[in-house]
C-alpha cells in the first residue's frame, strides 16, 4: 500500500520504518524541515534501539517531506502528531491542523488513521472536518522497545464507524498476528487512556507501598512486588517502585483524561490520586539525600540518569530533570551523567567524573551501565531511586526507595 505518516516523532518514525519493512511505500510528512532533511539523509532525530538499522534497510520505500501534496495518492494516512497538555488540558491544534492539511490533498476514498492519543470524540470530529473516513487506531508502544512493541503488540485496537475503513487498517496490522479488537472510535480512544491511566496507577500504588515499607524495619518493597506479582490477577509488570513515572505520555495523558472526566462531571478520583502520588516522588529523592547529608547548600551532587527511563534519549517530563531543579533550588552544585540524554540544567560529565566530583549521588534512571557500580560509590551518600544497587555493599551512607531501615 501507499501510506502517509503525518508527524515524524517517536511514533511516526517507528511506524514508518516498521511498515516500510513490511513492503509498504511510506511518505512521511512533518512541519519541521530540519527533521525531514535529516531523515532523508538517514539522520534519525531520535534514539531508539534498532531504529537506525531499520530505516537504512528500507530507504528505498521511505520518503520524507514537508509538502502534504505528496500524499495525494496514498490509501491511508496516519496522524501521529503530538497531543500535549497545556495548563492540564489536552491541546489538539496540531491534530486539527494536520487534519485540515490532509483534507486538501487526500483522495476522498482514502482513510485517515488516528494514531495520536486523543480524547473520545476527536476522531469523529476529524471525520467531520475532513469529510474523509477516520479510524482510531491507538498506539501502545513503549520508548526503548518501540520496534518490538510495534511488530508484536499485545493487541491492535481499531475503532471505526465504517467497516471498510476499519478493514483496511486491519489489513495493515495483520502481520503482527496480534488479537484485533474492533470498536467504535470513542471506545478505541477511551481504551488508550484507560490503559495508560491503569499502568500509571499501578506504579503509583507500588510507590505508596514503598513509602510504607521504608517505615517497617526488614521490609523491602521489591519482595512485596514479587509476592503480589505472582498473582495472575495482579501480574508482575509495572510494579517497579522508584522515583515515579515520567515521559511524554503518562503525565500528559493522566492529566488530560482527569480534566476531561471532571468536565463531564465524573472525576476519576483514582487517577487524580495517582498523579498526586507521582508528583511527590522527585521531592522524595531529594528528601532522602537531605536526611543523610543535611543542608545541600554548596554541596556537590551527582545525578545518574537524565532520560525518563533507560534506552531512550527522551527527557520529556523526566523525574531526573525535576530532581536536578530541586537540588539547585536547595543551592547544590549539580553534575549529571546519562549514556544518551542531555540537559542544560546540570553540568554533564562522564560517569566517573560525576561520581568522583560529588559527595552525594542520586540514581534517577536505571540504565544497565549503572548496575554493579557499588565500588565506585563507596564513601558517597547514595540514594538508589531505582533499586539497582546491592544495599549490603554500600553500608550506612545509603538509602533506597522502599527499603525499611
Q: Is 246 in the site for ligand UGA (CB under 6 A)?
A: yes
Catalytic residue among 213, 219, 249, 354: 249
Q: Is 199 in the site for ligand UGA (CB under 6 A)?
A: yes
x/- mask, ligand UGA, residues 146-185, rule CB under 6 A, reads ----------------------------------------
9 binds, among ligand UGA, ligand NAI, none (CB under 5 to 8 A by kind): ligand NAI
- Whole-number minimum distance, CB 141 to ligand NAI, in Å? 5
- Whole-number minimum distance, CB 401 to ligand NAI, in Å? 24
- Whole-number minimum distance, CB 263 to ligand NAI, in Å? 19
Query: Are 158 and 128 spatial neighbours (Cβ–Cβ below 8 Å)?
Result: no
What does 147-205 look like in DSSP terms, one character per residue?
A: HHHHHS-S-EEEE-SSHHHHHHHHHHHGGG---EEEE-HHHHHHHHHHHHHHHHHHHHH
- Whole-number minimum distance, CB 372 to ligand NAI, in Å? 29
- Residue 117 labelled as part of a binding site: yes
As a residue count, the chain comes to 405
Q: Is 250 in the site for ligand UGA (CB under 6 A)?
A: yes
| Cell numbers linked to 160 | 471505526
| Cell numbers linked to 85 | 497538555
- Residue 246 labelled as part of a binding site: yes
Q: Between 130 and 318, whose beta carbon lies closer to ligand UGA?
A: 318
Dihedral sign, CA of 214, 215, 219, 222? negative
Distance CA 74, CA 299 (A): 58
Distance CA 203, CA 85 (A): 21
Query: Are 194 and 181 spatial neighbours (Cβ–Cβ below 8 Å)?
Result: no
Q: Is 205 in the site for ligand UGA (CB under 6 A)?
A: no
Q: Is 308 in the site for ligand UGA (CB under 6 A)?
A: yes
Query: Are 380 and 361 spatial neighbours (Cβ–Cβ below 8 Å)?
Result: yes
Q: Is 249 a catalytic residue?
A: yes
- Residue 143 labelled as part of a binding site: yes
Report which residue's Cβ sits closest to ligand UGA: 249
- Residue 122 labelled as part of a binding site: no
3-state DSSP of 324-390: HHHHHHCCCEEEEECCCCCCCCCEECCHHHHHHCCCEEEECCCCHHHCCCHHHHCCCEEEECCCCCC
- Residue 140 labelled as part of a binding site: yes
Q: In 3-state terms, the chain is what percent helix, strand and coil (to 5)?
A: 45, 15, 40
- Catalog residues that contact ligand NAI under the rule CB under 6 A: 6-12, 29-32, 35, 80-83, 94, 97-98, 115-117, 139, 141, 143, 248-249
Q: Between 9 and 339, whose beta carbon lies closer to ligand NAI?
A: 9
- Whole-number minimum distance, CB 146 to ligand UGA, in Å? 8
User: What three-state secondary structure class fits 60?
Assistant: helix
User: Of 101, 116, 150, 196, which lies in the binding site for ligand UGA, with binding defined by CB under 6 A?
Assistant: 196
Residue for cell digits 488479537? 179
Write out the binding residues for substrate.
Answer: 140-143, 192, 238-242, 246, 309
Write out the binding residues for NAD(+).
Answer: 30, 35, 83, 117, 143, 252, 316
Amino acid at each position: 500500500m501507499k501510506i502517509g505518516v503525518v508527524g515524524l516523532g517517536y511514533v511516526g518514525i517507528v511506524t514508518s520504518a516498521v511498515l516500510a519493512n513490511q513492503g509498504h511505500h511510506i511518505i512521511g510528512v512533518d512541519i519541521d524541515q530540519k527533521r525531514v532533511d535529516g531523515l532523508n539523509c538517514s539522520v534519525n532525530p531520535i534514539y531508539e534501539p534498532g531504529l537506525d538499522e531499520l530505516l537504512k534497510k528500507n530507504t528505498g520505500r521511505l520518503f520524507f517531506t514537508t509538502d502534504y501534496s505528496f500524499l495525494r495518492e496514498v490509501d491511508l494516512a496516519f496522524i501521529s502528531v503530538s497531543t500535549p497538555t497545556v495548563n492540564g488540558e489536552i491541546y489538539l491544534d496540531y491534530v486539527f491542523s494536520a487534519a485540515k492539511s490532509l483534507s486538501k490533498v487526500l483522495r476522498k476514498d482514502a482513510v485517515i488513521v488516528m494514531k495520536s492519543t486523543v480524547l473520545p470524540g476527536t476522531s469523529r470530529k476529524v471525520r467531520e472536518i475532513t469529510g474523509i473516513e477516520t479510524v482510531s487506531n491507538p498506539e501502545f508502544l513503549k520508548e526503548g522497545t518501540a520496534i518490538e512493541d510495534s511488530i508484536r503488540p499485545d493487541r491492535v485496537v481499531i475503532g471505526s464507524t465504517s467497516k471498510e475503513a476499519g478493514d483496511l487498517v486491519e489489513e495493515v496490522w495483520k502481520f503482527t498476528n496480534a488479537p484485533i479488537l474492533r470498536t467504535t472510535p470513542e471506545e478505541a480512544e477511551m481504551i488508550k487512556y484507560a490503559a495508560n491511566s491503569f499502568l500509571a496507577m499501578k506504579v503509583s500504588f507500588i510507590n505508596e507501598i514503598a513509602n510504607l515499607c521504608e517505615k517497617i524495619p526488614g521490609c523491602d518493597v521489591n519482595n512485596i512486588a514479587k509476592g503480589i506479582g505472582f498473582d495472575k490477577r495482579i501480574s508482575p509488570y509495572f510494579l517497579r517502585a522508584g522515583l515515579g513515572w515520567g515521559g511524554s505520555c503518562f503525565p500528559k495523558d493522566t492529566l488530560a483524561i482527569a480534566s476531561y472526566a471532571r468536565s463531564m462531571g465524573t472525576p476519576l478520583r483514582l487517577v487524580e490520586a495517582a498523579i498526586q502520588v507521582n508528583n511527590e516522588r522527585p521531592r522524595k529523592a531529594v528528601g532522602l539525600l537531605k536526611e543523610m547529608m543535611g543542608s545541600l547548600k554548596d554541596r556537590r551532587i551527582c545525578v545518574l540518569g537524565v532520560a525518563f527511563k533507560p534506552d531512550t534519549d527522551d527527557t520529556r517530563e523526566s523525574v531526573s530533570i525535576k530532581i536536578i531543579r530541586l537540588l539547585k533550588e536547595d543551592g547544590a552544585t549539580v553534575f549529571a551523567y546519562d549514556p544518551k540524554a542531555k540537559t542544560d540544567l546540570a553540568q554533564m560529565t562522564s560517569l566517573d567524573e560525576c561520581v568522583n566530583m560529588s559527595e552525594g549521588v542520586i540514581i534517577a534512571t536505571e540504565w544497565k551501565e549503572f548496575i554493579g557500580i557499588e565500588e565506585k560509590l563507596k564513601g558517597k551518600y547514595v540514594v538508589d531511586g531505582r533499586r539497582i544497587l546491592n544495599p549490603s555493599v554500600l553500608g550506612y551512607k545509603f538509602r533506597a526507595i522502599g527499603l525499611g531501615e
